[in-house]
Chain A
Amino acid sequence: MIHDFNYLKPGSVKEAFEMYAEHDDCKVICGGQSLLIVMRQGMVAPEYLLDIKGLDELRYIKFDDKDGLRIGATTTHREIEKSQVIKEKYPVLALMETKLASIQTRNWGTIGGNLAHADPAGDPAPVLIALNANIKVGGKNGERTMALEDFFIDYFETALDKGELVLEVHVPIPQPKTATAYQKFNLLDSDMGIVAVAASITLNNDDTCKDARIVLGNAAPTPKRMKNVEQLLIGKKFDENLFAEAGKISYDESEPVADIHASEEQRRHLLGVLTKRMIKKAWEQARTVA
Chain B
Amino acid sequence: MEKRALKLSVNGEEYEVFVNPKTLLVEVIRDHLGFTGTKRGCETVSCGACTVMVNGASVKSCSILAVQVEGMEVTTVEGLEKDGQLSPIQKAFLDHGSYQCGFCTPGMLMSATAFLDENKGREVTEHEIREGIEGNICRCTGYNSIVRAIDAVAKGTYKEE
Footprint of B on A, CB under 8 Å? Answer: 2-7, 9, 29, 32-33, 36-37, 40, 49, 51, 53-54, 78, 98, 101-105, 107-108, 189-190
Contacts and interface: CB of A to CB of B under 8 A. Distances in A.
B4 A7 contact: yes
B64 A108 contact: yes
B149 interface: no
Interface in B40-57: 43-45, 48, 51, 54, 57
Interface of B: 1-2, 4, 20-22, 24, 43-45, 48, 51, 54, 57-60, 63-65, 67-68, 111, 114-115, 131-132, 134-136
Nearest to A102: B135
B67 A7 contact: yes
B108 to A, nearest CB: 12
A104 B60 contact: yes
20 contacts: A2-B22, A2-B24, A4-B20, A5-B1, A5-B21, A33-B63, A36-B45, A36-B63, A36-B64, A37-B45, A37-B63, A102-B45, A102-B134, A102-B135, A105-B63, A107-B59, A108-B54, A108-B57, A108-B63, A190-B135
B1 A104 contact: no
B59 A104 contact: yes
Q: Is the interface of B mostly helix, strand, loop or mixed?
A: mixed
Given A5-B21, A104-B51, A107-B57, A51 B45 contact: no
A108 B25 CA distance: 13
A103 B128 CA distance: 12
Contact of A104 (B24, B44, B65, B111): B111
A59 to B, nearest CB: 13
B22 A4 contact: yes
Given A4-B1, A9-B67, A32-B63, A105 B57 contact: no
A49 B21 contact: yes
10 tightest CB-CB pairs across the interface, nearest first?
A: A102-B135, A7-B21, A107-B57, A4-B1, A2-B22, A104-B60, A104-B135, A108-B59, A36-B63, A190-B134
Contacts of B136: 102
A3 B1 CA distance: 10
Given A40-B43, A105-B60, A6 B65 contact: no
Contacts of B63: 32-33, 36-37, 105, 108
Which of A2, A6, A98 counts the most chain B CB atoms within 10 A? A2
A2 B48 CA distance: 20
A78 B56 CA distance: 13
Contacts of B21: 5-7, 49
A107 B58 contact: yes
A51 B2 contact: no
Q: Which of B4, B43, B45, B115 has the most CB of A within 10 A?
A: B45
Contacts of B24: 2, 36
A33 B68 CA distance: 12
Contact of A189 (B44, B60, B65, B134): B134
Nearest to A34: B45
Contact of B68 (A51, A107, A190): A51
Contacts of B58: 103-104, 107
Nearest to A4: B1
B45 A105 contact: yes
Nearest to B23: A2
A6 B60 contact: no
A51 B64 CA distance: 12
A103 B65 contact: no
A102 B57 contact: no
